[in-house]
């Protein structure tokens, strides 16, 4: 006869434990044997109750034949969790080059670069050097001219004015000259305000005044810029014929243009005037091209061309402004009789003989410096 467990044990035991607990003890077993079976049933119940369900099901559930098994432990990662590249190297790859390498300014932009690195060099060049020192060039020229004028004085006509004049420039040539002069001066003033306003105007007149002047200068600069291109082309057409260099210009160079009293023969234009003409044409062309690129930045996809355009624009403008100051001095108070050529279109014969004697002989058929009896006697065999 099978002995049944008490009601409380039969209710709490799982079916597997209940099967063992309800087994009838051997016929010869007594009360001790019954208690032993009860204890074993209780331990079995505790094991089935406290053990995790997946562990119990593992032995009875078979995985399918095509099941994929993974190792229990994850694969070890790299020793350096940050990778093998430093942050600086990663950013250099994104920028397409190191900002510390000057070669990136001229090297083509690598494919896949997300940004350009030349902006740092451009900003340093503009703020630390161009904006800081460019304004000193015109001022230095003014100081040198003032010292020269005080020490040497203006160049007077040795023979005085003769009262006779020679035609030098036509009306259209003079209009082309003054058209260029007016446009150039307006661009020079507005450009210097844009470049140096933060340094020279804001600290003394205030940021509001500098902002208003800079905004007006920018509008005027953009307005007169296209007129400069027209004036440059007109100036080239009207004056290029007499401004080609000639071997006799070497004498002008060796004698510094007669600056210290030595006479130097020259044609319609001397070496200094020819050099000034070609500087205006060539440097002016660079200024015009860079200005167009800044006005229409969508003409290029490479930001470096825009950065280079701003640098060339400023340097070219400062160079022409500095030399133009000397040109204005010589053409006005620095040389007697020079201004007449651009105001009246005529020059005094004495001025033509002293400064452009070859040109004087070409248009008059006369000797600019006739030999005196003493010179003939010294030259006789």
Q: What is the pLDDT of residue 153?
A: 87
Whether pLDDT at 381 is above 50:
no
Question: Can you tell me the mean pLDDT for 131-135?
Answer: 87
Question: Can you tell me the mean pLDDT for 61-70?
Answer: 65
Where would I find the H helices in the chain? Answer: 7-12, 15-21, 31-50, 53-58, 87-95, 118-124, 131-133, 136-151, 171-196, 202-205, 207-239, 249-254, 271-295, 303-329, 339-343, 349-355, 357-364, 373-379
Do 255 and 242 meet the contact criterion of CB atoms below 8 Å apart?
Answer: no
Q: What is the pLDDT of residue 1?
A: 44
Q: Which of 207-216, 307-316, 370-379 has the lowest mean pLDDT?
A: 370-379
Whether pLDDT at 23 is above 60:
no
The DSSP output letter for 257 is G
Q: What is the pLDDT of residue 13?
A: 52
- CA of 4: how far to CAs of 22, 180, 239, 350, 358, in Å? 6, 124, 131, 150, 145
* Domain coordinates in residue numbering, the chain: 14-25+123-364
Query: Which tokens belong to 313?
Result: 């624009």
14-25+123-364, CATH topology level: Fumarate Reductase Cytochrome B subunit (1.20.950)
How many CA atoms within 13 Å lie on the side-chain side of 252? 19
Do 236 and 244 meet the contact criterion of CB atoms below 8 Å apart?
Answer: no
Question: Can you tell me the mean pLDDT for 160-174?
Answer: 93
More confident residue, 63 or 190: 190
Distance between CA atoms of 191 and 184, rounded to whole angstroms? Answer: 10
Distance between CA atoms of 325 and 139, rounded to whole angstroms? Answer: 10
Q: What is the pLDDT of residue 52?
A: 56
Whether pLDDT at 136 is above 70:
yes
Q: What is the pLDDT of residue 39?
A: 75
Distance between CA atoms of 149 and 325, rounded to whole angstroms? Answer: 13
Entry field: residues in the chain = 381
């Amino acid at each position: 006869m099978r002995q049944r467990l008490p009601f409380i044990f039969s209710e709490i035991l799982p079916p597997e434990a209940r099967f063992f607990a309800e087994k009838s003890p051997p016929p010869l077993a007594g009360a001790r044997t019954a208690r032993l079976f009860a204890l074993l049933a209780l331990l079995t119940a505790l094991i089935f109750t406290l053990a995790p369900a997946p562990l119990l099901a593992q032995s009875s559930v078979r995985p399918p034949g095509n099941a994929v098994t993974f190792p229990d432990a994850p694969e070890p990662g790299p020793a350096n969790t940050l990778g093998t590249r430093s942050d600086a190297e990663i950013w250099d790859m994104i920028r397409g080059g190191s900002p510390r390498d000057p070669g990136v300014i001229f090297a083509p932009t690598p494919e896949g670069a997300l940004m350009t690195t030349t902006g740092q060099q451009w900003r340093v060049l503009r703020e630390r050097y161009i904006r800081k020192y460019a304004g000193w060039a015109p001022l230095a020229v003014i100081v040198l001219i003032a010292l020269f004028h005080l020490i040497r004085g203006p160049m007077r006509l040795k023979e005085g004015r003769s009262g006779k004049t020679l035609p030098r420039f036509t009306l259209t040539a003079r209009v082309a000259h003054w058209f260029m002069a007016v446009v150039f001066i307006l661009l020079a003033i507005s450009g210097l305000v844009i470049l140096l306003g933060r340094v020279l105007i804001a600290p003394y007149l205030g940021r509001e005044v500098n902002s208003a002047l800079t905004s007006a200068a920018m509008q005027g600069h953009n307005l007169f810029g296209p007129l400069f291109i027209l004036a440059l082309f007109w100036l080239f057409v009207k004056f290029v014929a007499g401004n080609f260099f000639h071997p006799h210009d070497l004498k002008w160079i060796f004698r510094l243009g007669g600056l210290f009293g030595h006479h130097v023969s020259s044609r319609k234009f001397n070496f200094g005037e020819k050099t000034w003409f070609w500087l205006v044409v060539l440097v002016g062309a660079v200024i015009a091209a860079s200005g167009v690129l800044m006005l229409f930045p969508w003409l290029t996809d490479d930001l470096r061309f825009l950065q280079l355009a701003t640098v060339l624009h400023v340097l070219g403008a400062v160079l022409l402004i500095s030399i133009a100051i000397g040109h204005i001095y010589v053409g006005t108070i620095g040389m007697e009789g020079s201004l007449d050529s651009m105001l009246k279109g005529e020059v005094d014969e004495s001025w033509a003989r002293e400064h452009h004697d070859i040109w004087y002989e070409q248009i008059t058929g006369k000797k600019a410096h006739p030999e005196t009896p003493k010179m003939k006697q010294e030259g006789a065999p």
